[in-house]
Amino acid sequence: MILVTGGTGFVGSALLPVLQSQFHEVTAVGRRTQDKSHAGLRSFGVGNIDGATMWSTELRGTDAVIHLAARVHVMLDTVSDPLAEFRRVNTEGTLNLARQAAKAGVRRLVYLSSIKVNGETTASDRPFTPNDLASPQDPYGISKHEAEVGLREISRTTGMQVVIIRPALVFGKGAKGNFKSLMKLVASGIPHPLASINNLRSFVGIDNLVDFIVTCLEHPAAANETFMVSDGEDLSTPDLIRRMARAMNRPARLLPVPVWALKAGASLLGKGDAVQRLCGNLQVDISKARSLLGWVPLVSVDEGLRRAVSGG
């Protein structure tokens, strides 16, 4: 039995059909009980996931847990204490589940963490690796890092295997956030003043991420390891726009505006962080996943973008 939390989310919705094709029984957990129309899928609603959630019914007979549910990164957070709220769900909720899973005899827990545990930007030609010193910069990243630390301790004291995955920016059909905004911008045909940006960023298509999660669920060498995952090809922001436009069969309208001018204008408009994400480097090194697990991305960046814009 495989228990998946966050089964109705972006990653969970793509993962469940793959698991169902490989395992006899899958249990999906979210805040509310979801559609049970898929054969072999059990569904439970547990309400809010935090340090008080009770998992005994859902964990009964479970061999492995894939923990996707989280309070995700919020651009404009309105709660009075964002760090406390992130910790309540992402740290306390994760560790509460892990303790109960270990007590129930779960063999392995796969945890979807975040590249934000490493930090926000990388130096040129110096991608993040799993062995780098953690340097989270915001409440979301801090809460994910604290969950990782707690999971390793639970694994050490109980013997339950833990696998931690830190994905690059995830894209695909139904993706939200920055990727969705960029897709809309490209589709609009509005010229983008981004041609002069010279950076490199890692991305991971949803199909590659799902395949990697399943690999970490099954592979003996994944036990108690931390991995980065991406499509294996890093892109500059202008290159991403060109390839996204090609996938849409639309022209890429890029204008050469100096990066300093972009940053100055964004700062005046209060959009400095957004432009930094467009201009900065954020790369991950997936050599550990390749060498230890023999994993290679199934889908190229171009095919992933085609699927993202067309749903194919």
Cα 138 to chain centroid distance, Å, stands at 16
On average, the pLDDT of the chain sits at 88
Q: How confident is the model at residue 23 (pLDDT cuts 50, 70, 90)?
A: low
Asked whether residue 139 is domain-assigned, the answer is yes
Does any domain span residue 100?
Answer: yes
Is 22 a domain residue? yes
pLDDT tens figures, 246-266? 999 888 888 888 887 877 876
Residue 127 resides in a domain: yes
Residue 110: CATH number of its domain: 3.40.50.720
Q: How many domains does the chain have?
A: 1
Which active-site residues does the annotation give? 140
**Is residue 201 assigned to a domain?**
no
Residue at 185 is within a domain:
no
Q: Please give the residue that has the higher pLDDT: either 230 or 186.
A: 230
pLDDT exceeds cutoff 60 at 198: yes
The verdict on residue 216 lying in a domain is: no
Give 287-291 contacts, CB < 8 A, sequence gap 24+: 287/129, 288/129, 288/130, 288/225, 288/227, 288/228, 289/212, 289/227, 289/228, 289/229
Domain of residue 83: give its range.
2-167
pLDDT at 149 over 90: yes
Please tell me the distance from the alpha carbon of residue 31 to that of residue 106, in angstroms, as a whole number: 22
Residue 135 lies in a domain: yes
